[in-house]
């Protein structure tokens, strides 16, 4: 009996080689790659025959026509799974996938160490005014060291909005620096938050108590513009704002105003509403803003981990087994029916 060839389709955006190396060891799995700048019909033909679409999670790198939307799903009758190439899945319409009986998986946790390290780097850079010192050294002499004098993290309170894979690691690193850690996470019990290394508090209590507020939550309808003029105003005067979460969770205009007024001492930002932000963005003109281009999870180790996890989940799912990082678990009974029908 000839085995059905199961097709995994992805774009030509960069993926660590371990992804295809792992899938190549499965005799019944074929990887097909299309160019995002090539002929659209070639890409449509590849996707129309796909059983899995491994999609980039970078919303400003992947052209919108290749997002996993209801329109694209309608052209993919064989599609069983959309596999997001990261912890985020901004390029995936999860509700449309669920309606179509398509499983959605992400690779949460694969880059958690890298993002946590970057978060601490942003905290240190802003609190110790490292970038300000670096810039002044490159353009002038004769200024006093006290002109760029910062603050220690030790003894300060960091408030984590979300304490999942990444937030838990940030909590551990922050405690190693002698910080107090509080956290708000509506999806976890107080006991679980304590188990993960933080004192549970309400969102309002977190804003009022924290010297550093750090976001580690997804972007969705409940978190969009969570940090706005009112919530920035509720933070302690002189506090620092950090985000390695997703652009749009904080209101960039409101953050500009909070920094310009002097209410906040500084910000460390790895995520932006538009990525990369325009060069004339007012936040990029501020010396007390440490800006990076959504690179917190972009290390050799993290990219390899994410690719390896993605490939393993795809192998698991195409064998009819439930993957560990299923975003829409309610789809599973329908998925099982469609998978069985695919095998004939």
Find the mean pLDDT for residues 222-235: 96
DSSP 120-147: HHHHHHHHTTHHHHHHHHHH--S--GGG
Helix 112-127 and helix 300-318, axial crossing angle in degrees, nearest 10: 150
Domain boundaries along the sequence of the chain: 6-109+300-343, 112-291
pLDDT band at 343 (very low <50, low <70, confident <90, very high): confident
Distance, CA of 269 to CA of 119 (rounded, Å): 9
Residue 343 parent element (H or E): helix 332-343
Distance, CA of 314 to CA of 326 (rounded, Å): 11
pLDDT score of 244? 97
Asked about 252 being catalytic, the answer comes back as: no
pLDDT score of 218? 87
What does the mean pLDDT of the chain come to?
Answer: 95
* pLDDT score of 271 more than 80: yes
Cβ neighbours of residue 278 under 8 Å, at least 6 residues apart? none
pLDDT band at 219 (very low <50, low <70, confident <90, very high): confident
Residue found by looking up tokens 């978060």 in the block: 119
Cβ neighbours of residue 180 under 8 Å, at least 6 residues apart? 155, 156, 157, 158, 199
pLDDT score of 344? 66
pLDDT score of 88? 86
H-helix segments, 202-331: 203-209, 229-234, 252-260, 300-318
Q: Which two tokens stand for residue 246?
A: 């997703």
pLDDT band at 2 (very low <50, low <70, confident <90, very high): very low
User: 238: alpha, beta or left, given left = phi > 0 and alpha = psi -120 to 50?
Assistant: left
pLDDT score of 224? 93
Which listed residue (246, 250, 303, 338) is catalytic?
246
- CA dist 52 → 47, 56, 83, 215 (Å): 9, 13, 7, 31
Asked about 294 being catalytic, the answer comes back as: yes
CB of 86 closer than 8 Å to CB of 57: yes
6-109+300-343 CATH: 3.40.50.720
Asked about 275 being catalytic, the answer comes back as: yes
pLDDT score of 1? 36
CA dihedral sign, ordered 324, 326, 332, 337:
negative
pLDDT band at 62 (very low <50, low <70, confident <90, very high): very high
Distance, CA of 207 to CA of 159 (rounded, Å): 7
Residue (of 274, 323, 220) closest to 58 by Cα position: 274
* pLDDT score of 290 more than 70: yes
Find the mean pLDDT for residues 86-111: 94
Distance, CA of 344 to CA of 325 (rounded, Å): 27
Which listed residue (54, 118, 294, 303) is catalytic?
294
User: How much is the pTM?
Assistant: 0.91
* pLDDT score of 298 more than 90: yes
User: 110: alpha, beta or left, given left = phi > 0 and alpha = psi -120 to 50?
Assistant: alpha
pLDDT score of 3? 66
Find the mean pLDDT for residues 245-273: 97
Which listed residue (275, 304, 312, 325) is catalytic?
275
Is 112-291 a CATH 3.40.50.2300 domain?
no
Output DSSP code: residue 2. P
b or e along 66-105 (b: 16 or more beta carbons within 10 Å of the residue's beta carbon)?
Answer: bbbeeebbeebeebbbbbbbbbbbbbbbbebbbebbbbbb
pLDDT band at 339 (very low <50, low <70, confident <90, very high): very high
pLDDT band at 257 (very low <50, low <70, confident <90, very high): very high
pLDDT band at 245 (very low <50, low <70, confident <90, very high): very high
* Helix (H) and strand (E) counts in the chain: 13, 12
pLDDT in tens, 137-163: 999 999 999 999 999 999 999 999 999
Residue 290 parent element (H or E): strand 289-291
Q: Give the chain's end-to-end CA distance (angstroms, integer).
A: 12
Cβ neighbours of residue 50 under 8 Å, at least 6 residues apart? 7, 8, 9, 32, 76, 78, 79
């Amino acid at each position: 009996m000839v085995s059905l060839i199961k097709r995994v389709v992805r774009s030509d955006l960069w993926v660590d080689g371990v992804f295809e190396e792992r899938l190549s060891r499965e005799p019944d799995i074929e990887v097909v790659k299309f160019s995002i700048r090539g002929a659209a019909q070639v890409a449509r033909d590849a996707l129309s025959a796909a059983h899995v679409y491994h999609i980039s999670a970078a919303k400003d790198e992947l052209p919108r026509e290749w997002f996993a939307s209801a329109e694209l799903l309608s052209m993919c009758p064989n599609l069983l799974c959309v596999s997001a190439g990261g912890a985020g899945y901004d390029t995936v319409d999860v509700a449309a996938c669920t309606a179509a009986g398509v499983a959605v998986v992400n690779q949460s946790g694969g880059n958690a160490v890298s993002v946590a390290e970057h978060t601490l780097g942003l905290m240190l850079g802003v609190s110790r005014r490292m970038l300000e010192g670096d810039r002044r050294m490159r353009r002038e002499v004769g200024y006093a060291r006290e002109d760029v004098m910062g603050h220690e993290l030790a003894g300060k309170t960091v408030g984590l909005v979300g304490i999942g894979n990444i937030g838990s690691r940030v909590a551990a690193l922050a405690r190693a620096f002698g910080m107090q850690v509080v956290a708000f996470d509506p999806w976890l019990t107080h006991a679980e938050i304590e188990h993960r290394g933080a004192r549970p508090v309400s969102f309002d209590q977190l804003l009022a108590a924290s010297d550093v507020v750090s976001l580690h939550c997804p972007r969705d309808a409940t978190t969009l513009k969570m940090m706005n003029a009112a919530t920035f105003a509720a933070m302690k005067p002189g506090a620092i704002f950090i985000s390695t979460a997703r652009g749009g969770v904080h209101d960039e205009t409101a953050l500009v105003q909070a920094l310009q007024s002097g209410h906040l001492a500084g910000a460390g930002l790895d995520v932006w509403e538009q990525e990369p932000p325009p060069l004339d963005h007012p936040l990029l003109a501020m010396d007390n803003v440490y800006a990076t281009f959504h690179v917190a999870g972009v290390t050799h180790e993290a990219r390899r981990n994410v690719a390896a996890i993605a490939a393993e989940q795809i192998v698991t799912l195409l064998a009819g087994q439930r993957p560990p990082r299923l975003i829409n678990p309610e789809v599973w009974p329908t998925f099982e029916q469609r998978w069985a029908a695919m095998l004939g």
